[in-house]
Chain A
Amino acid sequence: AQKITQTQPGMFVQEKEAVTLDCTYDTSDPSYGLFWYKQPSSGEMIFLIYQGSYDQQNATEGRYSLNFQKARKSANLVISASQLGDSAMYFCAMREGPGNTGFQKLVFGTGTRLLVSP
């Protein structure tokens, strides 16, 4: 079974609008972490945001927020006020286990390509 599922191969949004990129995960470990990465057309992987399974509040980083619904096993990325520079591939990834050793063995989803139009 897929550990991380991103069901939207592509998404379109107009500039200045908000967009939600879906991510569902599958784990039986009570301790885990969820990461989102952005990959622009230039190819590099850029870390955006992190959510721990025990975090009480949804993570936010500037225009990025994570809509974490633990019971539904979903960790959707919300980008507010989209900009042209947000056009990129977005990957959701999960770390299983507490991570307090620093070891971050990640499993990635297949990604969602976001296109922001003027």
Chain B
Amino acid sequence: DAGITQSPRYKITETGRQVTLMCHQTWSHSYMFWYRQDLGHGLRLIYYSAAADITDKGEVPDGYVVSRSKTENFPLTLESATRSQTSVYFCASSGLGTGGNQPQHFGDGTRLSIL
């Protein structure tokens, strides 16, 4: 089925470990985004990508790395996880639009706990 899928849905890891969150979309959307959701902060943008091999930092990029070798995939890596990165992570995508009204479509989220 078409859509945007994130994996894993839940992940528990330890501080200092590397962890990669996967995001895959089947719409061939150009734009993809990673957000984190924390109580009291809403959603904050970590990284975004306008196309394959084009990525840029969002509001809270420190401690995260992204890549986009293929249009449909946009993995997010925590190179050395810290407790402050415990959060719910959302991937989103949006297509090209002429009216600016293209909504971002979100995956179901990954709940990440770092002990």
Partner-B contacts on A (CB < 8 A) = 4, 31, 33, 35, 37, 43-45, 47, 50, 52, 91, 93, 95, 98-111
Contact = CB atoms under 8 A, between A and B. Distances in A.
B8 interface: no
Given A43-B88, A44-B109, A104 B42 contact: no
B101 interface: yes
Given A52-B100, A108-B44, A103 B50 contact: yes
A101 B30 CA distance: 10
Contacts of A108: 35, 42-44
13 contacts: A35-B103, A45-B109, A47-B104, A50-B101, A91-B43, A99-B100, A100-B98, A102-B31, A102-B94, A102-B95, A102-B97, A105-B45, A110-B42
Contacts of A43: 88, 108-109, 111
Interface string B85-107: 00010101011111111111111
Contacts of B101: 33, 50, 52, 99
Nearest to B43: A108
Contacts of A44: 106-109
Nearest to A99: B100
A106 B98 CA distance: 17
Given A43-B88, A102-B97, A111 B42 contact: yes
Interface residues of B, number: 33
Interface of B: 30-31, 33, 35, 40-45, 48, 50, 58, 88, 90, 92, 94-109, 111
Nearest to A54: B100
A106 B111 CA distance: 21
Contacts of B58: 105
Given A43-B109, A99-B101, 6 more contacts: A33-B100, A91-B43, A100-B99, A100-B100, A104-B102, A109-B42
A42 to B, nearest CB: 8
A65 B106 CA distance: 22
Closest 10 CB pairs of A and B: A99-B100, A102-B96, A45-B106, A47-B103, A108-B42, A108-B43, A110-B42, A50-B101, A102-B97, A104-B94
